[in-house]
Amino acid sequence: MTDRYAVIGHPIAHSQSPRIHAAFAQATAQDLSYVAIEAPLDGFAATVQAFRAGGGRGVNVTLPFKLQACQLANDPSEAARLAGAANALKFEGERIVADNFDGIGLVNDIQRNLGHALRGRRVLLLGAGGATRGALLPIAQQGPATLAVANRTADKAHGLRTDFAAHVTLNSGGYADLAGEAFDVVINATSAGLSGEALPLPDGLFAPGALAYDMVYGKGLTPFLRQARAAGVSALADGVGMLVEQAAEAFAWWRGVRPDTRDVIARLSVPLV
């Protein structure tokens, strides 16, 4: 019988997840279906339960429901608990198991696909929202020399330092605190670019050979990537690889088979111009 999976969000029309999982299923000869479901803003839990009652095996969860997904789970992973958010659920009998693969997807994309090691490097995350929360633990587990978070609202960055203190040694501050610092990997996890806004990044922020990574995907050269390029950075990446890698993690978690990601990333990539 065909096993059923879905991605649930609001809005959901532009989700690439059905395309990605269909490609994985074909490549690994897995008999499954994967659809996009738009849940009403006040109806996430009911949508999950209805899908499950209809024989669903698991779901991906996207904005704005990742926090609720974590709360709905009986059994959230450490990554999901620390992020306070889940992007994948698995139905096991009566239980709902939750995980968050966004961070490991980012790490795998940076290290395996883009060839930039995180161990021993100076890593900076811009933004202190859910996207940064999900990324902190997986990045810290790679052993960077330093890990810093800068945010427009510095107190939110300090809050992350406190929340993650048991697991991650974090430097935190506002953008002005970055003056005089240089980083090998700079990741934009803010939503500033979506409204076309540039971030107040000081000169000299990017170390020679640095990678500039924007978690946004499919938008070409974002304001952040443009800033990085203007600062002389040649290693630029958007979040398409992160998207496909987190999908691969969920697929492996559900199906026990790891799909190859390279072709799917190539197919979904848009030029950074």
Q: Which residues bind ligand ATR (CB under 6 A)?
A: 127-131, 151-153, 156, 189-192, 197, 199
Give the Cα separation of 138 and 57 in Å (integer). 26
d(CA 64, CA 57): 21
Provide CB contacts within 8 A for 128, sequence distance 6+. 149, 151, 153, 156, 157, 159, 160, 172
Q: Minimum distance from CB of 249 to ligand ATR (Å)?
A: 19
Catalytic residue among 66, 90, 156, 219: 66
CB of 42 to ligand ATR, least distance (A): 19
Choose between 25 and 128: whose C-beta lies nearer to ligand ATR: 128
| Residue number, 191 or 234, with CB nearest to ligand ATR | 191
Query: In the complex, what is the shortest distance from the CB of residue 126 to ligand ATR, in angstroms, rounded to a whole number?
Result: 8
Which residue, judged by CB position, is nearest to ligand ATR in the bound state?
129
Token pair 């978070």 in the structure block, residue: 149
Q: What is the residue-wise DSSP string for 151-220?
A: -SSHHHHHHHHHHTTTT---EEE-GGGGTT--EEEEEE-SSGGGGTPPP-PPTT-EEEEEEEEES--SSS
- 107 DSSP 8-state letter: H
Bridge partners (DSSP) of residue 258 are none
Give the separation between CA 26 and CA 132, rounded to whole angstroms. Answer: 32
**Distance in angstroms (rounded) separating the CA atoms of residues 43 and 65:** 10
CB of 25: closest distance to ligand ATR in angstroms?
28
Please say which residue, 60 or 151, places its beta carbon nearer to ligand ATR.
Answer: 151
Q: Which is nearer to ligand ATR, 128 or 247 (CB)?
A: 128
What are the backbone angles phi and psi of residue 28, rounded to the nearest 5°? Answer: -110, 5
Which lies closer to ligand ATR via its Cβ, residue 23 or residue 147? 147
Q: What are phi and psi of 54, to 5 degrees?
A: -85, 10
- Smallest distance from the beta carbon of 27 to ligand ATR, in angstroms? 30
Residue 66 among the catalytic residues: yes
Catalytic residue numbers read 66
